[in-house]
Amino acid sequence: MTHLLAGDELPLFFRALEETPPVSIRLNPVKRLPEGQEPAGERVQWCQEGVYLSQRPVFTLDPVFHAGAYYVQEASSMFLCEALRQTVDRSVPLRVLDLCAAPGGKSTLIADFIGPDGLLVANETIRSRAGVLRENIEKWGYANVAVTSGEAEDFARAPGFFDVVVTDAPCSGEGMFRKDPDSTGEWSPENVAVCSARQKRILASAVECLKPGGILVYSTCTYNKEENTDNVSWLSAGFPLELRKLRVPEQWGITETEGGYQFYPHKTRGEGFFIAVLQKTGGEVHKTADANFKNLSAIPKVSVPLVSGWMKKNAELRYFQTASGEIMALPEKWIGEFSVLEKLVRLKWFGVNVGEIKGKDMIPSHALALCHQISTEIQHLDTDRTQALRFLKKETIELPEDIRNGWTLVRHHGLNLGWIKVMPGRMNNYLPQDRRIRMDIA
């Protein structure tokens, strides 16, 4: 840091590391809370959906957090929103790969950026982390998403496939030392060198699967040049890439470097972060083949009305099922792209898991309850905070006398939380066991 920060900046930097980290969230633009219910606080300057909170609440005990109304995200990393806004053409549907996606903060931001007309592939190489990525993607509610767990090299087998590749690469984590002091024990010069080499391997594959004219975003949560500007120089020298400059107001406190943009905690209200944007100037464009799945099959035509009745009437979806019987709803326009992805990686979840058919009935999934495409005509039960938390603890909740038997959406502030099934004299709570609250709600 003595090489990176001159004069009075170094003591200011170290003093900032002793301060309490700011708390920030990013609101879901589709799952809006009623007027007066949105959290109050200063907005993040470079992301209109970002909000600073005055203190850190217990997010686990906030029902709208479980509904996907907001994501708890570090403010500096929300700058991805501004970087994409300045460099990516949104006038056409986009295919975007988030190559190192877990736990999902940047993926959900990208999903908002491309909207329902694009295609997002949220990939996490470490399979043990893919589960939390899938959970956060499901909460956010879009159907035009594939969650995958593959290596960067897997995507290089589809050269020129993506319009945008975001690579928030695994790094030495220097920018997180204030937020996670224990991580300082894992730092060493040797680990920096290992991270830099691993980042180069990942970035080489990222460039390969990017189409000509496409945008590569490279970011880390660290400070050193080896993992940041040196890697950007390596990219520019060895690949057909041009560095893109961004318009950054001086009052934001972001430091422009020779290869990107650096966030320091003594200058910006956030943690340490680095980001660079490059545009590909050559290469080939991938040609999407006809939809031909190996492990998914179209559901029988007689079952389509049974499944589609759970979705909005204008939803342009096609329904497929896995070998285990799970039904997936995929956007019609991206079927060919999903079929390409299926051949690239072994572990993947496509679109929305709608549920499964048993006999003449459809058993809806939890993901369906959280999806933007779910029908608004399904019976629902609005709950107060106490009842909502009881549902989220997978307990029995009180039912009104006039409620009909059958599948019912439990809601809070108009946002879906999950399913119950009402039966004569009782109800079953269908919240997945791994999603239930284990804290005391008193």
- What is the Cα–Cα distance from 387 to 418, expressed in whole angstroms? 13
> d(Cα 305, Cα 46) in Å, to the nearest integer?
44
Residue with tokens 């290469």, as numbered in its chain = 283
CB 110 within 8 A of CB 78: no
Residue 80 CA to residue 72 CA, distance in Å, equals: 15
The answer to whether the CB of 291 falls within 8 A of the CB of 353 is no
Written as one letter, the residue type at 120 is L
Q: Which of 47, 100, 195, 221 is catalytic?
A: 221
* Coil vs helix vs strand at 94: coil
DSSP label at residue 7: T
In this structure, is the dihedral angle defined by the CA atoms of residues 137, 26, 15 and 262, taken in order, positive or negative? positive
Distances (CA, A) of 381 to 212, 352, 377, 422: 50, 23, 12, 11
Distance of CA 430 to the CA centre of its chain: 25
> What's phi and psi for 231, nearest 5 deg?
-70, -35
Distance CA 243, CA 116 (A): 29
- In the chain, how many H helices and how many E strands? 12, 22
User: Is 81 annotated as catalytic?
Assistant: no
Residue 297, H or E segment: strand 297-298
Give the integer Cα–Cα distance in Å for 75 and 254: 12
Catalytic residue numbers read: 221
